Structure 1
Amino acid sequence: MTHSSVDDILFSKENLLRVLDNLDTGIVAHDTARRIFVFNREAERITGFPREEVIGRDCHEVFGSPLCGSRCSFCGDTVFSEDQRSYPLNLVSHSGEVRQVEMSLTAMKKPDGSLWGVLASMRDVTDLFDLRLKAADMGRFSGIIGNDPKMLQIFQQIRDVSQYDFPVHITGDTGTGKELVAAAIHSESPRSEKPFVPINCGALPEGLIESELFGHVKGSFSGAVRDKKGRFELAHGGTVFLDEVAELSKHMQVKLLRFLQEGSFERVGGEQTLKVDVRIVSATNKDLKKEVLKGDFRDDLYYRLNVVPIRLPALRERRNDIPHLVRHFMEEAARQYPHTSPRISREALGMLMDYSWPGNVRELQNAVRFAIVKSGGGEIGPLDLPLEIRGEVELKSRKGPSRKLDADTVAQVLLRTDGNKAKAAKLLGVGRATLYRFLKDYPELYTGS
């Protein structure tokens, strides 16, 4: 077959369509006005839209919004300036099914080099994700380490909820990674190219929090020397993460509720009503429902925030992830400090597995860093672990009712339990009466009530 005859076949519209329809990659092509002129069979399967409803139409009109969300290069004044671009994408099909796609865009240019359209190829990796979930073989997802079934469920929840703008409320103990989950929801969503703005509601002074959230105008209070945008304005198009939301005062709860209801606000000292488009993810280590019952949190705000709840398990509930996390933290340290080659002995890892981890993943990270320094960047042994870990694990390993107390151990446990004798007795494995009798002989160990 001659070169010209091959060209004739390929330039035949019907033959070219046959070639495209036999690819296992979705192909979509549109001009600079976003009018679609190529949409192959795999693109139909991935998106759920039939070809006849797509060809010749504006892609935003067809899909109801940009297919590629905030990454769209044909929105407003945005211009596709690269020759090629690739990124992962979650999209919602015509039937409402969330699909994970690897998207690649290629510029189509005229002979003079000017842009006349774009060719998008989509590879569906949803089944691969689902298979890894079923096989419990994820390891990590969107920056979160975990292979425990509880974490695999969290990964699935993140993937499912990321495509919707419904408010998400994350609960979990301190150190479980609530901000990581919020950031993952953002990065997996169509808003991922826009800002992710975290706000620690418990760390902002009461007198400044309204200005921080909503901004202020010049002269509205002492020190307001210029107009300032608030965090909600800065997050326009993206996601706001309200951490420790239970710490908001009643006054700020009212302000936040109004914003959630109307999507509008005024800067402090301003009269102009502003509107922004943000997705709200909130978190707390408290039980918000109990806060409502106590009268400390508004019930109407609770129901606005708690539309999609996600509960993060404590580290002690997913101990099988501890080796993965330890390895990750050691690899992280080795990259940051190339002169080290941290390793961990079986005995030390066993002690980490047996510890109760009240500080969760954050405490584990700190413990690994402490041990790396103590071991000189070499192999981590039991003696390189923090004292509280060794003390608790050694106490647990002592058998039988004839457990003896010593002053050093009791002092450590009382410090660890903030002087709570009931908790200390439980941790020490003795009755409260036994601990009380011991403390009578060592009054200097305990000065509380």
Structure 2
Amino acid sequence: MARRLGETRQFAGIIGRDKKMLEIFDLIASLARSHAPVLIQGESGVGKELVAAAIHNEGPRAGRLFVPVNCGALPEGLLESELFGHVRGAFTGAIRDKKGRFELADGGTIFLDEIGDVSPAMQVKLLRVLQEGTFERVGSNLTLKVDARVISATNKDLREEIRAGRFREDLFYRLCVAPVHLPPLRERRGDIPLLIDHLLPRVAREAGRDGLAVSPAALDRMMDYDWPGNVRELHNALQFALVKCHGATIELSHLPPTIAQTRPATTLRARAPGKHAPTQTRRVRTRRVKLDVAGVRAALARARGRRVLAARALGVSRATFYRFLDAHAELKEVS
């Protein structure tokens, strides 16, 4: 199992070594052997489609099609035709019969992204497919039957949508037989260096460059940033950095302003003596500490495996601490 290995960095194309991601890897492997509908929940940019594809590719349906549909990108009329197909003459412009995504996914998997954006009328039609596996093409009375596994995803809280009357409760329970929650990048900061190592060579190749590295200062700032856009924003930040970087090393000044101007965790606001003295910002210099395996192991034990607290106790930046962990495999079981 992925968690037992402890050194897992990639599973089915997904990058991560954080405990939360290792649990996701194990869950993907279990779900791949099942045919139950899966609902993947998480913020925008966390990689929901990657997880859906991994569940498909690791299972018995891998030899058939994985068919993604962005339910939030199409108006209701077009979405119905896209999902269920149509017959010739069903509407203006329907010059021939067309299979829908459910038909194309027969024997495979259909991925309904942004399912929380589907209209109430379309929710009723989806409920029927999930219950009975049957539907009609637009403009046809012929009932078709399909065997398609349904994986859906949303960045909305569907229980809140149910309470607000915008999402059907019966459809929710049909979709959410097996829930998967993907953590945002800010909750697995230790994976940021791994993701950079994975993404930077790809971004560099696309730009016709190679041999690029990220400076310690830039990495520290990227570790401090909260990444509201998650992995997608990290990818975009590296693309931006390459536009500004003309050398072999991405520096702090090359990062997007929203990241470069983020106040680092080591910046403290100190009030000067006096009741009405102005607030001043001062940078506390991180003292140079030579890390050793025994000391890091002890710090992790005291912090009960919480790496951020261990790094803080040792007086080093998170980036330095994570690089040390990467270089010492014997510490992975502790962290």
The alignment's TM-score, normalised by the length of structure 1, stands at 0.59
Match of 2:183 in 1: 313
Rounded to whole Å, the distance in 1 between the matches of 2:42 and 2:241 is 26
Over residues 39-97 of structure 1, what are the superposed CA-to-partner deviations in whole Å (9 max), with x where a residue is unaligned? xxxxxxxxxxxxxxxxxxxxxxxxxxxxxxxxxxxxxxxxxxxxxxxxxxxxxxxxxxx
Question: Is the alpha carbon distance of 1:156 and 1:399 closer, same or farther for their aligned partners in structure 2, counting shifts above 3 Å?
Answer: same
- RCO comparison, higher one (Cα < 8 Å, 6+): 2
Match of 2:151 in 1: 281
Structure 1 contact 341–377 (Cα < 8 Å) conserved: no
Alignment pair present for 1:247 and 2:117: yes
Structure 1 contact 136–148 (Cα < 8 Å) conserved: no
- Structure 1 residue identity aligned to 2:187: E
Q: Deviation of residue 284 (structure 1)?
A: 0.4
The answer to which of 203-212 and 388-397 deviates more is 388-397
Alignment pair present for 1:374 and 2:244: yes
Alignment pair present for 1:177 and 2:47: yes
Match of 1:416 in 2: none
Alignment pair present for 1:304 and 2:196: no
Q: Deviation of residue 332 (structure 1)?
A: 1.2
- Structure 1 residue identity aligned to 2:189: R
| Percentage identity across paired residues of the two chains | 55
| Structure 1 residues 96-245: aligned runs within 5 Å | 130=1, 132-245=2-115
Q: Deviation of residue 276 (structure 1)?
A: 1.0
Q: Deviation of residue 341 (structure 1)?
A: 2.2
Match of 2:332 in 1: none
Q: Secondary structure at the match of 1:228?
A: coil
Alignment pair present for 1:353 and 2:227: no
Alignment pair present for 1:325 and 2:223: no
- Structure 2 residue identity aligned to 1:388: T
Q: Secondary structure at the match of 1:164?
A: coil
Count of residue pairs brought into register by the alignment:
275
- Structure 1 residue identity aligned to 2:237: A
Alignment pair present for 1:265 and 2:135: yes
Rounded to whole Å, the distance in 2 between the matches of 1:385 and 1:403 is 28
Q: Deviation of residue 374 (structure 1)?
A: 1.1
Rounded to whole Å, the distance in 1 between the matches of 2:6 and 2:266 is 31
Rounded to whole Å, the distance in 1 between the matches of 2:155 and 2:229 is 12
Over residues 87-110 of structure 1, what are the superposed CA-to-partner deviations in whole Å (9 max), with x where a residue is unaligned? xxxxxxxxxxxxxxxxxxxxxxxx
Rounded to whole Å, the distance in 2 between the matches of 1:392 and 1:285 is 25
**Unmatched tracts of structure 2, length 5 or more:** 272-277, 282-335
Rounded to whole Å, the distance in 1 between the matches of 2:43 and 2:207 is 31
- Structure 2 residue identity aligned to 1:187: N
Q: Deviation of residue 395 (structure 1)?
A: 8.6
Rounded to whole Å, the distance in 2 between the matches of 1:157 and 1:370 is 34
Match of 1:90 in 2: none
Structure 1 contact 182–281 (Cα < 8 Å) conserved: yes
Q: Deviation of residue 338 (structure 1)?
A: 4.6
Structure 1 contact 167–304 (Cα < 8 Å) conserved: yes
Rounded to whole Å, the distance in 1 between the matches of 2:7 and 2:19 is 10
Structure 2 contact 203–238 (Cα < 8 Å) conserved: no
**Unmatched tracts of structure 1, length 5 or more:** 1-129, 406-449
Match of 1:96 in 2: none
Q: Whose radius of gyration is greater, 1 or 2? A: 1
Q: Deviation of residue 134 (structure 1)?
A: 1.9
- Structure 1 residue identity aligned to 2:18: D
- Structure 1 residue identity aligned to 2:138: V
Q: Secondary structure at the match of 2:269?
A: coil
Rounded to whole Å, the distance in 1 between the matches of 2:257 and 2:197 is 21
Over residues 178-211 of structure 1, what are the superposed CA-to-partner deviations in whole Å (9 max), with x where a residue is unaligned? 0000000000010011111111110011221111
Question: Is the alpha carbon distance of 1:322 and 1:395 closer, same or farther for their aligned partners in structure 2, counting shifts above 3 Å?
Answer: closer
Question: Is the alpha carbon distance of 1:390 and 1:335 closer, same or farther for their aligned partners in structure 2, counting shifts above 3 Å?
Answer: closer
Structure ranking higher in strand proportion: 1
Rounded to whole Å, the distance in 1 between the matches of 2:270 and 2:264 is 13
Q: Deviation of residue 306 (structure 1)?
A: 0.6
Q: Deviation of residue 394 (structure 1)?
A: 4.9
